[in-house]
């Protein structure tokens, strides 16, 4: 019986280089160097995992990212060049291996793409939920550094207050309470990357007539400490409801949210309208319209872990504040610094993406609602937002704040306070 001979087929240098270009190590496998191709993939996978572990322990994210990028470029260059040279030395008599098949190349690539995503994500979830004594910060030093800045800013709180850590199934929520003991409750929810201290320009007036509860978001910067991940809008709403129950606020709650907090206010109003008296949506994230491309572009750039990009993003979003002659520039500087410091000191995590309410959801908002937006709003068009509300949900009261953008509660604090208080105090029809 004649023996079956393995097929012979020459290796093409350009093909091997191209394969390594589209998938690290694939050119080596094409040339019969399976072990070398797999090792290159494993080195890259381990470097991704090491990067994740380092980021959750240290704020030197830009350094780690730079090193990872240089390693990737080195491995990719080596894979392409080595595969090209090796193909030229093999000559026309290369005996095909059993794995020199298109389907093997495809499975190899898909497998390592999946591993490069799944394994680092698994490690990230573990690191995020690892309850160290300094959780949710990256380190003891990071905790000390951030809280020093936080306490410095909290000294500017203009009215007498008390603070509480309130237990929920999602962790401990930090709240700053001001105003008369027997007054109606008014909950203040901050924007993304902000804390209860963002209400500094408004709290004095709001606390004259209401018992105000300024909240540090359970899954964001500030003093709150999460023990469960927040994955969905329902998680956020359930956390808020538990918080209100723990505070024994009853069913006549006034709820105000700015930006991300405005979106959360709308979500809570949809689920638990009977617990609310009135709501105020201050330039809520999404909710009425999708976030603009310009805003998303600036937000992506701001993810680069350097103070310069954070400052550039905030100066763009808060342009009216930056150019105002009356608003305090030191407060703006402190706000920007606290956001940058938060991004460096806290374990990295992803907030739930805010969503746009459907026509039916907007129409179903039966809680008396006030919508305020600055005429120079950057996250979406103020005029288009008012147009949609007027067309879809005319029951929502709406106003544009002149000479303001996303910073309406600061640059037009007196006007916003007056409009909000007039709305809250107005008897229900």
Catalogue the active-site residues: 406
**Residue 237 Cα to chain centre, angstroms:** 17
How far is the C-alpha of 86 from the C-alpha of 371, rounded, in Å?
A: 66
How far is the C-alpha of 370 from the C-alpha of 30, rounded, in Å?
A: 64
How far is the C-alpha of 396 from the C-alpha of 115, rounded, in Å?
A: 48
Nearest to 198 by CA among 282, 301, 85, 129: 282
Task: State whether the Cα torsion 261-267-272-273 is positive or negative.
Answer: positive
- Residues 405 and 318 sit within 8 Å (Cβ to Cβ): yes
How far is the C-alpha of 413 from the C-alpha of 124, rounded, in Å?
A: 40
User: How many Å from the N-terminal Cα to the C-terminal Cα in the chain?
Assistant: 99
Largest CA distance in the chain: 101
How far is the C-alpha of 272 from the C-alpha of 342, rounded, in Å?
A: 31
Helix axis angle, 34-55 to 102-129, nearest 10°: 20
- Residues with Cβ within 8 Å of residue 274, at least 6 apart in sequence: 251
Helix axis angle, 307-317 to 329-345, nearest 10°: 130
Helix, strand, coil shares, percent, the chain, to 5: 55, 15, 35
Residue ranges of alpha helices (H) inside 91-224 are 102-129, 140-154, 203-209
Find residue 400's DSSP bridge partners: 373
């Amino acid at each position: 019986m004649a023996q079956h001979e393995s097929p012979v087929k020459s290796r093409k240098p350009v093909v091997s280089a191209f394969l390594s270009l589209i998938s690290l190590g694939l050119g080596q496998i094409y040339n019969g160097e399976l072990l070398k191709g797999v090792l290159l993939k494993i080195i890259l996978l381990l470097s991704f995992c090491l990067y994740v572990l380092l980021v959750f322990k240290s704020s030197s994210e830009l350094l780690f990212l730079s090193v990872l990028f240089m390693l990737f470029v080195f491995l990719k260059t080596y894979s392409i060049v080595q595969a090209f040279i090796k193909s030229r030395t093999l000559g026309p008599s290369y005996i095909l291996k059993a794995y020199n098949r298109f389907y093997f190349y495809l499975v190899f690539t898909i497998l390592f793409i999946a591993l490069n995503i799944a394994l680092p994500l698994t490690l990230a979830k573990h690191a995020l939920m690892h309850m160290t004594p300094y959780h949710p910060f990256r380190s003891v030093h990071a905790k000390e550094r951030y809280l020093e800045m936080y306490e410095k800013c909290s000294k500017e709180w203009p009215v007498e207050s008390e603070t509480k850590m309130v237990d929920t199934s999602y962790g401990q929520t930090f709240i700053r309470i001001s105003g008369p003991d027997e007054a109606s409750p008014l909950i203040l929810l901050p924007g993304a990357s902000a804390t209860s201290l963002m209400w500094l320009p408004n709290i004095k007036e709001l606390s004259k007539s209401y018992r105000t509860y300024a909240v540090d978001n359970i899954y964001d910067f500030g003093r709150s400490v999460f023990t469960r991940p927040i994955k969905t809008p329902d998680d956020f709403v359930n956390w808020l409801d538990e918080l209100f129950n723990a505070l024994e606020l009853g069913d006549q709650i006034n709820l105000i949210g700015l930006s991300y907090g405005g979106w959360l206010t709308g979500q809570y109003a949809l689920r638990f309208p009977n617990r609310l008296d009135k709501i105020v949506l201050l330039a809520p994230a999404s909710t009425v319209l999708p976030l603009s491309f310009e805003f998303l572009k600036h937000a992506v750039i701001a993810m680069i872990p350097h103070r310069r990009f954070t400052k550039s993003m905030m100066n763009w979003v808060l342009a009216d504040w930056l150019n105002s002659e009356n608003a305090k520039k030191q407060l703006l500087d402190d706000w920007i610094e606290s956001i940058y410091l938060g991004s460096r000191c806290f374990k990295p995590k992803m907030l739930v993406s805010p969503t746009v309410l459907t026509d039916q959801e907007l129409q179903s908002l039966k809680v008396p609602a006030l919508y305020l937006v600055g005429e120079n709003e950057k996250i979406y068009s103020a005029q288009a937002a008012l147009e949609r509300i007027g067309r879809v949900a005319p029951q929502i009261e709406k106003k544009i704040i002149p000479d303001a953008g996303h910073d309406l509660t600061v640059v037009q604090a007196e006007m916003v306070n007056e409009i909000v208080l007039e709305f809250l105090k107005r008897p229900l029809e």
